[in-house]
Amino acid sequence: MIKSQSSSRSKGGKRPSRGLSSRGTKKLPLPKDLLLQIHRLMVKSRALEDRLIKIYKAGESYFWIGGPGEEAFGVPLGLLVHKGQGPQYDWLHLHYRATPTLVAMGMPMIDSVRLMMNRATDVSTGGRNFSNHYCYPQWNVAPVSSPIEVQYSMALGTARVQQRHGTKGVSIVTGGDAGTAEGDFASCLVWASRPGQELPLLITVQNNGWGISTDYDSQHGEKHIADRGKAFGIKSLVMNGNDPVESYLKLKESLDYIRKTGKPVLLEALVSRLYGHSSASGANMEKGQVCCVQSFEEKLKKWGLLKDKEALAIRTEYETEAKMAQEQARQEPAPTPESVWDHVYAHNENGDWRNY
């Protein structure tokens, strides 16, 4: 249930054109190529999630949870991340709706499908964890965990390392609105804003208005979650996370501020939750919410940047890629039973007491 969504429609203008047109109409809010890239990635992420849901419904996986409805936030984030390994790059402490961010960072679809189908080839968990529980050390992506909000306290540590190394790297944490009730969210605000020891943290909340079946309004006395940052002197803002342009601009502004000052930002993005919490509630499209992919597509068409035929071709291309990924993953091996003892400890040191 999305409450007031501050619209940034005016930024696009009613008669957009490709840059400053000779006719003097308004400038596009972002370069054309970037707008089209964001669109493609949003469609790609959605097509992938749609496929994951199909895999679940076909009985080829046990559970689905994911991020349809968070593309307009996640894709711009993925594009803005300084991607790499080590403290000079950004760290990502993501929640389980972050497919759009990873797609934008360049994750191949097949990775997500292998994770969904618990293949031995799943690079994130080796068939051990649920969908959307990604892990990419080469991009500083910490393992996504099912307990909500724990990532907000772990992000403190990577931010501390970045600060110590004096890098421009930022630790970015994402999570839902319901999880902000947990103590880890408060820990994050307290530790990020210690006077003279502020941490380079982008603390984000994707407020979809729900915690499983419990609505936001019955649990939150605060008007905005972002208001909580103000008490700590943390730069805080609320944005329409269903608008990729607003997301891109506000995320960029926030990241630039953090890289420049070393201080944290709390950013609350109002987003949709299009298919419910997870497959536990059916994973069906829930009506009455903004679909950011659809609304952005309409905007691009209105601006003359996209035609129906092109939009259809993009969607078909990614639907096909996702389907092919499923077919490929089907052929790949499952984890072996004896692999349960792998990686209990680093370097595969024995973890079975029977062998002590």
Partner 1 sequence: MANMAQAVRMALHYGETHLDVVDIFGQDVGPPLGGVFTATQGLKTTWNTPLDERGIIGMAMGIALAGERCVAEIQFCDYIFNTIDLLKIAGNTCWVSNGNYSMPMVVMTPAGAGIHGSVYHSHSFDAWATRLAGWKVVMPSNPLDAYGLMLSAIADPNPVLYLKPKALLRVRGEDLIPGEPQDEKQLKSMIDAPLGDRRRWKPQWPELEDYRVPLGQAKITRSGEALTLVSYGRTLPICNKVADELLKEKGVAIEVIDLRSLIPYDWASVLSSARKTKRVIFVNEDTEVTNFGEHLAYRCTQELFYELLARPRVVAGKNLPGIGLHPHLEENSVPQIKDIRQAVLDTLAEVP
Q: Which residues in this chain contact partner 1 in the complex, by CB under 8 A?
A: 87, 91, 122-126, 128-129, 133, 135-137, 142-143, 145, 147, 150, 152-162, 164, 171, 183-184, 187, 190-191, 194, 342-351, 353, 356
Q: How far is the CB of 328 from partner 1 (least distance, A)?
A: 19
Pick 118 or 208: Cβ nearer partner 1: 118
Helices (H), ranges, the chain: 9-12, 32-57, 71-80, 99-105, 109-116, 150-164, 183-192, 227-230, 244-261, 292-302, 308-331
Q: Is 124 exposed, middle or buried (0-12, 13-18, 19+ CB in 10 A)?
A: buried
Pick 1 or 190: Cβ nearer partner 1: 190
Q: How far is the CB of 126 from partner 1 (least distance, A)?
A: 3
48 Cβ contact list (under 8 Å, min separation 6): 99, 103, 109, 112, 113, 318, 322
Q: How far is the CB of 129 from partner 1 (least distance, A)?
A: 6
Pick 129 or 236: Cβ nearer partner 1: 129
Pick 320 or 348: Cβ nearer partner 1: 348
d(CA 296, CA 244): 8
Six-digit token pair at 180? 């902000």
Q: What are phi and psi of 203, to 5 degrees?
A: -95, 110
Q: How far is the CB of 135 from partner 1 (least distance, A)?
A: 5
Q: How far is the CB of 45 from partner 1 (least distance, A)?
A: 22
d(CA 247, CA 74): 9
Q: How far is the CB of 237 from partner 1 (least distance, A)?
A: 24
d(CA 32, CA 114): 34
Pick 34 or 150: Cβ nearer partner 1: 150
200-220 residues labelled b (16+ CB within 10 A) or e (exposed): bbbbbbbbbbbbeeeebeeeb
Pick 138 or 284: Cβ nearer partner 1: 138
